[in-house]
Structures are given as C-alpha cells and as structure tokens.
Structure 1
Amino acid sequence: MMDERYLRAVRDTLVKHQQWLLRDPAGQGRRADLSFFDLTGLGLSRINLSGAKLTGACLARARLMGTVLTRADLYGADLSRADLSGAQLQNTDLRGARVDGAQLAKANLSGADLRRGMMIEAGDRRGGGNADGSTTFVGCSMAEAILTDSRLAQCDFSGSNMAGVDFSGADLSGAILIGADLTGAVMRRAVLDGVLMCGARLNDELRTALERKGIDVDGTGMTTTAARMADMLSDHQRWVDKDGKTGARIELQRVDLRGYSFANQLMCGAVMRFCGLRGADFSGAKLAMADLSYCDLRDADFTSADLSGCNLEGANLTGAKLWRARLRGVDLTGDGTRLWPTNLTNARLAGADLRDASLAGALLIGTDLTGIKTSLMTLKGADLSKAAGRQRVAVPA
C-alpha cells in the first residue's frame, strides 16, 4: 500500500505538470516524470497528463476516464484492467505496454504507437509491461474507439470488443485480432498484411470487403500442427496418467486445427489458446481444466464432452454442439468447499445446442446466449444476471 509520502510526491509531480502545461507561473512548472512509479489503482480521471513521462509505470486498475494522455510516454507501462473510457491517447507511445482487460470505450488513440518495444532492465527499475516486448490489448472493451492512422503492427487485440472501431489508415501488419468483435469496424486504407482474424466477429459488409482483399478471416497465417497432433495427444495422455512425471503437456497457441478430430481423447489440462478449431470434433473428449480461451470453436462438436473447469473465456462457440456436455465445476478439495468453475466469460454461444447440459455454476459474465437450444436443466440454477442476449434464449424443449 502506498504511504502518504509516496502519494504526496505523486501529487506534487502532477501539480508541477499542470504548471508546466500552462506555463503559470512562468518557469515554475516541470514535465511530469513518473517513470517506473507504482500507480496501481489510483484515481487520475480527467487530469491533463499530456506529454507526461510514464515509461514502465504500473497503472493497473487505475481510473483514467477522460484523462488526457496525448503524446504521453507509456512505453512498457502496465495498464491492465485500467479504465481509460473516453481517454485522449492521440500520438501516445504505448510500445511494449500491457493493456489487457482495460476499458477503452470511445477512447481516442489516433496516431498512437502500439508496436513492439523491448524494455531493458536497469538495476531495480523494471517495466510494468510485457517482458517480451509485445504490446497486448487482450480482452479489452474498446467499442467505438478511434485508432485512425495508428501503428498497430503485431499488436495483440485477441478477444477484445472492437465494435465500431475506426481503423482508417492504420497499420495492422501482423496484428492479432483472434476472436475480436469487429462488427461495424471501419478499415478504410488500413494495412492488413498478415493480420490474424481467426474467429473474429464480422458484419457481412466488412467480411466481404476483407475477402475481396484476399484475407482469409478464418485462419490467415496460422501454423498447422495436424501432422504431429497424434503424437502430441499420446504424449499428453502419458503426462496426465503419470501426473506430469513423463510425457508432455499439450501447450499450443495460434495454430490452425480446423475440423480436426479429438473425439474421445484424454485432454485434461491441455492448453490450446487462440487456436483455429472451427468444426473440430471434441465429442466424448475429456477436457477438464483445459484452456481453450479465445479459440475459434464455431460449429465444433462437444457432444458428451467433459468440460468441467475448462477455461473458454472469449471463445467463439457460435453454433457449437454441447449436447450432454459436462460443464460443472471441479472439486479442488474433495469435500465440495472449493469448486473451480467452467469459465464462459465473454464467450459467444449464439445458436449453440446446450440441450441436456447444465450451466449451473459456470461463469457467464458477458456470455452471449442468444438463441441457444436448451432443455429444462440447461438454465436451472445458472447465474444469468451478467449474461448477454438471454432475452432471446430459445424456450426449453
């Protein structure tokens, strides 16, 4: 917890910055330099931090609604789960920043730099961003944000809500938009070389425009491991059977396995994130505690599969078959006092078949349940208070 002296130093720095911006009184102000400061959870809404130096700063969970950060230096900063709704980030340096889970609805990032940026550690100074230099906006809420003329090469927007975002003139070369909601997005004059859009939600107009440019929105640039998947499954089964002492756990990201059959396979604890798995067959598979977050699972078959405790956050399960699938929590203690729930946060289940499956105990925050097929047990005991689209859930058969 920050002590009073630390907070006073931050406050004095902010006051000096306002004087520097206004040049009042003349010569008394000074540009704010809060590089590598821990500003976790601070309330900084609607403050003018234009041009401030925040290199490597930790602003996780900070409240920055409407804050002016134009031309600020946020290189290698941590803004994860921060609220930047309506913030002004024009021409801001966000290279190497971690912004995962942040709120950026209607934020203006025109001309901002979101490319890779490696932070070199010096002594005790360690950047709050991504150690590998990547810039990540995974799982962000960015509806109607402005990203015109911004530099977004290789930036990761997986699973983000980017409905209505304006990408006009932006450089999206190699950007990762896996599972992102791009309905109503504008991409006029945008550079899209090597962009990954597997499982992204697109309106018909945008899909047509992208396909005319030769972009494979279901698997552009994704590697395939289908040829060696059988060996990986065999190694994973040994890993499960021998409690990790032998074999090798399946750990995959951004691979193309569309239509692959995993039927009846033992895949407990497998990690397959951001993968293209449209139409894959998982019927009868054991996927307890597996991680399939942000995967494209449209039309996948999970009939009678065990998805207990599985992480399906941000996954696109539109039209998937989950008939008789097991979605209950995993008992971690053996006495029922601690359950690890199946995570369907922000997943899209529109039109999915959930007959004879139960959503009781599953995390359904922001989950799209529009038009799902249900039976009497499907929604019984389920917490639908934060789910989306439930007003159009099909009447139980």
Structure 2
Amino acid sequence: MTREQLLERIRNGMPLLHVDLRGENLEGLDLSGAQMQGVNLMQARMARVNLEDASLIGCSLSQADLSGALLKDARFVRCGLAGARFDAANLSGAQFSESNLEGALLNGADVSGSAFYKCTAKDAVLNFGRCDRMAIFETTLDGARLSDVHMSFCVIMKSNLHAVAWEGGSCDSCVFNECVLEGMDLSGRTLVRCQFIGSRLQGADLSRAVLTQSNFKGAAMQSVQLADAHGEAALFPEADLRGANCRGARFPRSVWVGACLEGADFTQAQLDLSALHRTRCHTAVFERASLSDADFSYADLRDSNLRGAIFQRTRMHHAQMAGALLSARSGIIEVDEGLHKAQQWSASRTRPD
C-alpha cells in the first residue's frame, strides 16, 4: 500500500485491516482518527506522526519510532509496543489496554490524563516530561526506570513497584492503592497528600521524606524507615508499623488510631496533638518524644519506654501501662473526666430497663 492510498483510506474513514507496513516511512503523516486492526507497523518510522484519536487493536509496533508523535486520545488495545520509542511524544489522554510496552522509551513524553490497564512495561524507561492525572492499573513494571518525574493527581492501583528504579521526583495528591512498594528507597522524597491505602511498604526507606497529609490507612509498614520524616496531619489508622524506625520524625496532628506500633522507635519524635487511640505500643520507644496534647486513650503501652518524654495534657485514659518506663507522670491525664462521664451517660442510655 502506497502512502497516498493509506492517507486516502484514512481520510475516507475506512478501517485498515491486517495491512503490512513493517519498516515503512510514515514520518509526519496525518493519520488522525485512523482505525487499525491487526496492522503490522514493526520498526516503522513514525516520528512526528499524527495519530490523534486513532484506534489501534491488535497491532504490532515493536521497535517503531514514534518520537514526537501526536497520540492525544489514541487507544491501543492488545498491541505489541516492545522497544517502541515515544520520546517527547504527546500521549495526553491516550489509553493502553492489555498491551506490551516492554523496553519502550518514553523520555520526555506527556502522559497527562493517560491510562495503562493490565499492561506490561517491564524494563521500560518512563522518564515522563509531564505526568498529571495519569492512571496505571494492574500493570507489570519490573525493571522500569523512573527518574526525576513530578507526578500530580495520578492513580496507581494493584501494581508492583518494588522493582522499579525510581530516582528523584515527587508526588502530590497521588493514589497508590494496594500497591507493592516493599524495600523501595524513597528517602528524602516529597510525597504530599498521597494515598497509600492498603499498600505494602515493608522495609521501605522513607527517612527524611515529606509526607504532609498523606494517608497510610491499613498499610503494611513493618520495619519501615521513617527517621527524620516530616508528616504533619499524616494518617496511619490501622497500619502495621511493627519495628518501624521513626526516630526524630515530625508528625504533629497525625492520626494513628488502631495502628500496631509494637517495637517501633519514636525517640525524639514529635507527636504533638496526635490521635493514638487504641494503638498497640507494646515495647515501643517514645524516649524524649514530644507528646503534648497527644491522646493515647485505650492504648496498649505495656513495657514501653517513655523516659524523658514531654507530657502536657497528654491523655492516657484507660491505657495499659504495666511495665512502662516513665521519668515522671506530670502532664499526663490518666482519667479523662469528661470522657468518663460521657461513657457513663452512654452506658446508661443503652442499659435495658
């Protein structure tokens, strides 16, 4: 098929079915709105091609060069894109479904509003130029490289990230739900207003990270490194932080309700105005920590180390304190009279006649 025949078919809205365009020079062509199925575009030269709003189903673009291509709102379904080059391409609003992007190159690509669903991006280079409101679902990213990418309002769900070479960059208002980030080095990273609900971060390094208003509800964070992290108003309800290193961390106004903090080290940490109701803090260390206005009501603090901690209106209403080490009890509210009266009133209201 000649270039003229190809352009004529696309201008007339005719689909391209099982056409062989392997290695063809299609650079700069306007193929916007094209409907392709089973088309062979392996090693095709497609730099600066216009495929805006195109639909490609079951097509092969392995090793194709789409550098600088306009792929806005294009749809790739079950396509082979292994080794394809998308450097500086406009992929905003593009959708990739069940496609193979193994080893693909996306240096400087604009992926804002794009979506990757059940794809393989193993060993891909994902140094996106712009990454706003991108979505990744159940996608394989083993060996992928992500350097100095600034992500905002992105959603990554049910994906394994622990083998991603993620260096530098930041995240603002991103969602990482049910993802695997075990052992990842995210030290010093800015991850503000992000959601890590139900994700696995065992052994991850978040030391010196900025986690302001981020949510780790129900996350598995055993042995996580949070030393010197900053996380004002961060949320850790029902998270498992057994053995976590939180030395020197600053978490004022944070929420830890129902979290497991057994053996965690909060030496010299700042937890002022934080809610730690019903936390399990057996053998945890809060030595020289700032706990002003913190609330440990109903917490398990047995055998914990609170020596040198700063207490000021620190609530420990009905907390278990057997074996706990304290330098002094001044500043501790061991029985919250207001709460006690409210509980008595509530019990009387529910008591059967």
Q: 1:88 to 1:155 in 2, by over 3 A?
A: same
Equivalent pair of 2:279/2:298 in contact (CA under 8 Å) = yes
| Secondary structure in structure 2 of the residue aligned to 1:198 | coil
Q: 1:56 to 1:34 in 2, by over 3 A?
A: same
List aligned pairs for 1:166-181, cutoff 5 A. 166-181=265-280
**2:175 alignment partner in structure 1:** 58
| Alpha-carbon shift at residue 48 of structure 1 (Å) | 4.1
**2:344 alignment partner in structure 1:** 260
**1:156 alignment partner in structure 2:** 255
List aligned pairs for 1:98-177, cutoff 5 A. 98-116=215-233, 135-177=234-276
| Alpha-carbon shift at residue 264 of structure 1 (Å) | 5.7
2:324 is the alignment partner of 1:284: no
**1:209 alignment partner in structure 2:** 325
**2:205 alignment partner in structure 1:** 88
Structure 2: distance between partners of 1:223 and 1:11: 58
| Alpha-carbon shift at residue 200 of structure 1 (Å) | 0.5
**1:197 alignment partner in structure 2:** 296
Structure 2: distance between partners of 1:260 and 1:211: 32
In the alignment, which of 174, 188, 194 is matched to residue 287 of structure 2? 188
Residue 265 of structure 1 aligns with an amino acid whose one-letter code is R
Residue 214 of structure 2 aligns with an amino acid whose one-letter code is A
Equivalent pair of 2:146/2:165 in contact (CA under 8 Å) = no
Q: Aligned residue pairs: how many?
A: 210
Structure 2: distance between partners of 1:154 and 1:88: 22
Name which one, 1 or 2, has greater alpha-carbon Rg.
Answer: 2
2:131 is the alignment partner of 1:15: no
Unaligned runs of 5+ in 2: 1-94, 100-113, 129-144, 306-320
Equivalent pair of 2:176/2:199 in contact (CA under 8 Å) = yes
Residue 169 of structure 2 aligns with an amino acid whose one-letter code is A
Q: TM-score, with normalisation over the residues of structure 1?
A: 0.47
Unaligned runs of 5+ in 1: 19-27, 117-134, 225-254, 267-282, 286-397
**2:31 alignment partner in structure 1:** none
**1:73 alignment partner in structure 2:** 190
Identity among equivalent pairs (%): 18
Residue 15 of structure 1 aligns with an amino acid whose one-letter code is V
Structure 2: distance between partners of 1:111 and 1:151: 7
- The structure that is strand-richer by fraction is 2
Equivalent pair of 1:110/1:149 in contact (CA under 8 Å) = yes
2:33 is the alignment partner of 1:33: no
| Secondary structure in structure 2 of the residue aligned to 1:189 | coil
| Secondary structure in structure 1 of the residue aligned to 2:240 | coil
List aligned pairs for 1:233-312, cutoff 5 A. 255=339, 257=341, 260-263=344-347, 265-266=349-350, 283-284=351-352
Structure 1: distance between partners of 2:252 and 2:150: 27
Structure 1: distance between partners of 2:124 and 2:150: 9
| Secondary structure in structure 2 of the residue aligned to 1:260 | helix
Structure 1: distance between partners of 2:259 and 2:182: 19
Please give the per-residue CA displacement for 1:290-338, whole angstroms capped at 9, x wherever unaligned.
xxxxxxxxxxxxxxxxxxxxxxxxxxxxxxxxxxxxxxxxxxxxxxxxx
Q: 1:187 to 1:205 in 2, by over 3 A?
A: closer
Structure 2: distance between partners of 1:178 and 1:264: 23
Equivalent pair of 1:49/1:70 in contact (CA under 8 Å) = no
| Alpha-carbon shift at residue 6 of structure 1 (Å) | 3.1
Structure 2: distance between partners of 1:73 and 1:144: 23
Structure 1: distance between partners of 2:173 and 2:208: 18
Equivalent pair of 2:176/2:197 in contact (CA under 8 Å) = yes
Q: 1:217 to 1:181 in 2, by over 3 A?
A: farther
Structure 1: distance between partners of 2:177 and 2:199: 5
| Alpha-carbon shift at residue 77 of structure 1 (Å) | 0.4
Q: 1:34 to 1:188 in 2, by over 3 A?
A: same
Equivalent pair of 2:146/2:167 in contact (CA under 8 Å) = no
Structure 1: distance between partners of 2:193 and 2:209: 12
Q: TM-score, with normalisation over the residues of structure 2?
A: 0.52
The CA RMSD over aligned residues, in Å, is 3.3
Residue 90 of structure 1 aligns with an amino acid whose one-letter code is S
Structure 2: distance between partners of 1:159 and 1:53: 29
| Alpha-carbon shift at residue 36 of structure 1 (Å) | 1.5
Please give the per-residue CA displacement for 1:121-167, whole angstroms capped at 9, x wherever unaligned.
xxxxxxxxxxxxxx211010110011011101111011000000000
Equivalent pair of 2:282/2:304 in contact (CA under 8 Å) = no
Residue 216 of structure 1 aligns with an amino acid whose one-letter code is I
**2:6 alignment partner in structure 1:** none
Structure 1: distance between partners of 2:161 and 2:146: 19
Structure 2: distance between partners of 1:155 and 1:115: 6
Q: 1:29 to 1:47 in 2, by over 3 A?
A: closer
Please give the per-residue CA displacement for 1:29-86, whole angstroms capped at 9, x wherever unaligned.
8412222111022110143434331111110111111111111221000111111111
Residue 174 of structure 1 aligns with an amino acid whose one-letter code is L
Equivalent pair of 1:48/1:68 in contact (CA under 8 Å) = no
2:115 is the alignment partner of 1:6: yes
